[in-house]
């Protein structure tokens, strides 16, 4: 299964390689691995600290506020995409309090809620767009000053990336109600502060 996944990643143009148990231990000596174990290694893969990333983006964008090119709208959720009466192109986002017109493009950056958001924004449109991105239930445990185990890379069970959708998928399920075969998966990584972060993810969040 891992070798097949590595081949798929390579064919898609990503840098990936299969590691046998001995090669895996060379990269992660603190991990207990059975002789038959292995891993898919993606050297270019990386993780972001969500809070620090958002803070960085906001700080960088604030430079453009004086030029009228940046504004923030809190507690004002997007509710609908508006089309031009002349061209039919999507030209604005209607929120609960405002109508925001685009100049070049409208970017949906709602993370794991992008699928349900797109479904809601297009509810009065004849456009059918299914974005297969959904939240999952999960838990994170942060162990501060935990020196017993040191990881060099972000680790995850192969099941974490084994997202499967049943064949009975329909476009009406885009609101977050499609069947999925998901098992409990574990992740482990070190955060930017040197803390050990353990994650457990299981079923979709409806």
Q: pLDDT band for position 81 (50/70/90)?
A: confident
**Residue 193: per-residue pLDDT:** 85
- 73-76 — which CB contacts under 8 Å span 24+ positions? 73/97, 73/98, 73/100
Which is higher by pLDDT, 127 or 77? 77
Residues 6+ apart with CB under 8 A from 188: 151, 154, 155, 156, 196, 197, 198, 199
Q: pLDDT band for position 203 (50/70/90)?
A: low
Q: How many angstroms separate the CA atoms of 179 and 194, rounded?
A: 38
Tokens of 113: 């809620």
* Residues paired with residue 187 on neighbouring β-strands, in sequence order: 156, 199
Which is higher by pLDDT, 153 or 185? 153
10 Å CB burial of residue 174 (0-12, 13-18, 19+) is buried
Q: How many angstroms separate the CA atoms of 130 and 134, rounded?
A: 11
For residues 126-148, average pLDDT? 84
For residues 14-43, average pLDDT? 92
Alpha helices by DSSP H, listed for the chain, are 2-11, 21-27, 50-61, 114-121
**Residue 2: per-residue pLDDT:** 85
């Amino acid at each position: 299964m891992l070798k097949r996944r590595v081949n798929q990643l390579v064919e898609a143009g990503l840098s990936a390689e299969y590691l046998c148990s001995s090669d895996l231990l060379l990269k992660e000596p603190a991990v207990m691995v059975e002789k038959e174990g292995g891993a898919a290694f993606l050297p270019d893969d990386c993780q972001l600290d969500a809070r620090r990333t958002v803070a960085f983006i906001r700080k960088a964008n604030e430079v453009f506020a004086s030029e009228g090119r940046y504004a923030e709208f809190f507690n004002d959720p997007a509710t609908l995409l508006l089309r031009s009466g002349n061209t039919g192109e999507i030209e604005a986002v209607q929120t609960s309090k405002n109508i925001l017109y685009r100049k070049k493009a409208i970017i949906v950056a709602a993370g794991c809620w992008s699928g349900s958001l797109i479904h809601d924004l297009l509810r009065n449109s004849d456009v059918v767009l299914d974005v297969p991105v959904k939240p999952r239930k999960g838990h994170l445990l942060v162990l501060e000053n935990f020196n017993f185990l040191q990881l060099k890379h972000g680790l995850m069970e192969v099941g974490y990336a084994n997202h499967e959708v049943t064949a009975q998928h329909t476009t009406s399920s885009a609101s977050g109600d499609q069947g999925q075969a998901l098992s409990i998966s574990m992740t482990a990584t070190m955060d930017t502060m040197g803390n050990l972060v353990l994650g457990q993810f299981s079923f979709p969040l409806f």
